[in-house]
Amino acid sequence: MKVLVSDKISDKGVEILKKAGLKVDVKTGMKPDELKACIGEYHGLVIRSATKVTADIIDAAKSLKVIGRAGSGLDNVDKAAASKKGIVVMNTPGGNTITTAEHTIAMLFALARMIPQATASMKAGQWEKKKFMGVELFNKTLGIVGLGNIGNQVAKKAQGLEMMVIAYDPFLSEDRAKALGIEKVELPEVFSRADFITIHTPMTPETKNLINAETISKMKDGVRIINCARGGIVNEKDLYEALRSGKVAGAALDVFEKEPAGPENPLLGLDNVICTPHLGAATEEAQENVAIAVAEQIADYLVRGTIRNAVNFPSIPADQVARLQPYLSLAEKLGSFAAQTCEGGITGVTIEYLGEAAGLNTAPVTIAALKGLLTPILEETVNFVNAPFIAKERGIEVKETKSDDAGDYQSILALRIKTKDKERYFAGTLFSKKDPRIVRIDNFAVEIVPEGIMLMIYNNDKPGVIGNLGSFFGKNNINIARMYFGRESAGGMAISVMSIDSPITPGNLEEIKKMPNVLSAKLLNL
């Protein structure tokens, strides 16, 4: 079998592939057309971030069985196209955790003491001690947004510096926070209390522009902001204005909305901005570790058929795939839907298998549900291998129950999710034994196709709500693909879920929330 390495990786990774008996070609720097022309002969593809594995590339990959990313991010791979074609997509989660956390701490120090600016001044022949008066980290409050693997490592290192650490993470339970010695707070409190704010969340519709003019206005005067996560979480225009006004004393950025960031980016012209060209994972150790890991994973799969760290395929026996695949899809969709609608730290989840579902090999289905539940709000890639460990690490108790009775359905898969304040219930089934449907949300009977962009609204069951929504979407030229309704009782509380063909802006969402009889509105992405 043949493996193509299309991005530069450590020679140790290449040697591991060769020792496994695989023929390896290293062809870096190829243009998309060049990759498309040659990919058909390869069974494995090793990439980093430079190679874009688009649907066109995958369509041309006639023999490809596995794509392996030396690193965690997979924004450059069309995972849906790969899954549809039966190509396993792997990454190396955790390989960049330490190095990215260390880079964050390096940025923290450099920001506090203006080290890059002072270096540039001295190299220009100056000796400007007063100009570069810094601040201590000791006894300062570090606010961490997102306490996944990287955020956790940053917290540990900050505690070693005797900083006060507060953190916002909707999936972090109070008990887990106490065990880590971290004060769990809500996001507005992070903004109001922190002297330094560091971001460690994924880029999602909910986190895009999380740091903006409004949230910056709630921060301390002289706050300092660090972003080594994803570009776009910080609104660069709003940050620029806050840096110029002095509201924000300084910023340290490793990631940008547009990369490579060029001289046209006004942030690069400010003296109180420290920046690096996406170096969070750029250490010799990290690059060697991820190269070795991805090579071992690809060799294991191509030579021995063992799947590890797959983001689109669970480790299940081949003879069970056909029966389990629809349930895996249902479980992941149900988990993702639940995660995006629940509020507060999750402390427990019970997966209920009712009717025919009780006879399944439930282990991979439970993992699929956890993957769906954890993915929307974590910065690291959650996959079928690490989802149970992440849940355990975060203090989420996972249980399974089974019953032969599925009520009016042949088969039901349900999630009971416990938070500190309440319990939520989400149930789904398969139509025609293959098409996922959500059939219950708490006390509401519904029939929802869980896919695409969805708007979920709780409202009073009164005339005019649907008419107002229809007028709103028509006015904003947004097409409604499907609409679903449910209510507890006539005139009581109701639920409305709309599948829409394009996302709506935060301003649009606020407009909907202000409509008569609308109690809440939330945008979901499945």
Calculate the average pLDDT of the chain. 91
In the set 230, 424, 440, 487, the catalytic residue is: 230
Task: State pLDDT tens for residues 225-235.
Answer: 999 999 999 99
Known active-site residue 416: no
Task: State pLDDT tens for residues 183-192.
Answer: 999 999 999 9
For the chain, give the percent of residues with pLDDT over 90: 69
Query: Hey, where are the domains in the chain?
Result: 1-93+282-313, 97-275, 317-426, 437-525
Task: State pLDDT tens for residues 278-315.
Answer: 999 889 999 899 999 999 999 999 998 778 888 877 65
Task: State pLDDT tens for residues 188-204.
Answer: 999 999 999 999 998 88
Domains 1-93+282-313 and 97-275 share a fold: yes
Amino acid, single-letter form, for residue 251:
A
Task: State pLDDT tens for residues 140-167.
Answer: 999 999 998 899 999 999 999 999 999 9
Task: State pLDDT tens for residues 413-442.
Answer: 999 999 888 899 999 999 988 899 999 999
Residue carrying structure tokens 């291998």 = 385
CATH superfamily of 437-525: ACT domain (3.30.70.260)
Cis peptide bond upstream of 260, omega within 30:
yes
Known active-site residue 43: no
**Calpha distance 143→164 (Å, rounded):** 8
**Calpha distance 445→191 (Å, rounded):** 39
Which one, of 243, 239, 279, lies nearest residue 259 by Cα?
A: 279
Task: State pLDDT tens for residues 390-410.
Answer: 888 888 999 999 999 998 899
Which one, of 84, 172, 96, 91, lies nearest residue 385 by Cα?
A: 91
Task: Tell me the three-class secondary structure of 227-267, residue by residue.
Answer: ECCCCCCECHHHHHHHHHHCCEEEEEECCCCCCCCCCCCHH
In the set 189, 193, 241, 278, the catalytic residue is: 278
| pLDDT value of position 316 | 61
- Count of CA atoms in the C-beta half-sphere (13 A) of 448: 33
SS3 of residue 71 by DSSP: coil
Q: Does 381 score more than 80 pLDDT?
A: no
Q: DSSP letters of 131-155?
A: GG-----TTPEEEEE--SHHHHHHH
Q: Is the separation of the CB atoms in 292 and 9 below 8 Å?
A: no
- The pLDDT of 97-104, averaged and rounded, is 95
Amino acid, single-letter form, for residue 200:
H
Which one, of 358, 379, 316, 368, lies nearest residue 153 by Cα?
A: 379
In the set 34, 162, 214, 259, the catalytic residue is: 259
- The pLDDT of 264-268, averaged and rounded, is 96
| pLDDT value of position 318 | 54
| pLDDT value of position 315 | 56
CATH number of this structure's domain 317-426: 3.30.1330.90
Q: Is the separation of the CB atoms in 428 and 333 below 8 Å?
A: yes
| pLDDT value of position 505 | 86
Known active-site residue 128: no
**Calpha distance 46→287 (Å, rounded):** 13
CATH number of this structure's domain 97-275: 3.40.50.720
* C-beta pairs of 281-284 under 8 Å, 24+ apart in sequence: 281/71, 281/95, 281/96, 281/99, 281/100, 282/99, 283/99, 283/102
Name the CATH topology of 1-93+282-313: Rossmann fold (3.40.50)
Residue carrying structure tokens 């007063």 = 130
Q: Taking the mean position of all CA atoms in its chain, how far away is CA 276?
A: 22
Give the global pTM: 0.67
- The pLDDT of 125-133, averaged and rounded, is 94
**Calpha distance 255→228 (Å, rounded):** 6
Per-residue pLDDT band at 319 (split at 50, 70, 90): low
**Calpha distance 323→70 (Å, rounded):** 32
Q: Is the separation of the CB atoms in 58 and 47 below 8 Å?
A: no
Q: DSSP letters of 278-340?
A: S-TT--HHHHHHHHHHHHHHHHIIIII----SBSS-----GGGHHHHHHHHHHHHHHHHHHHH
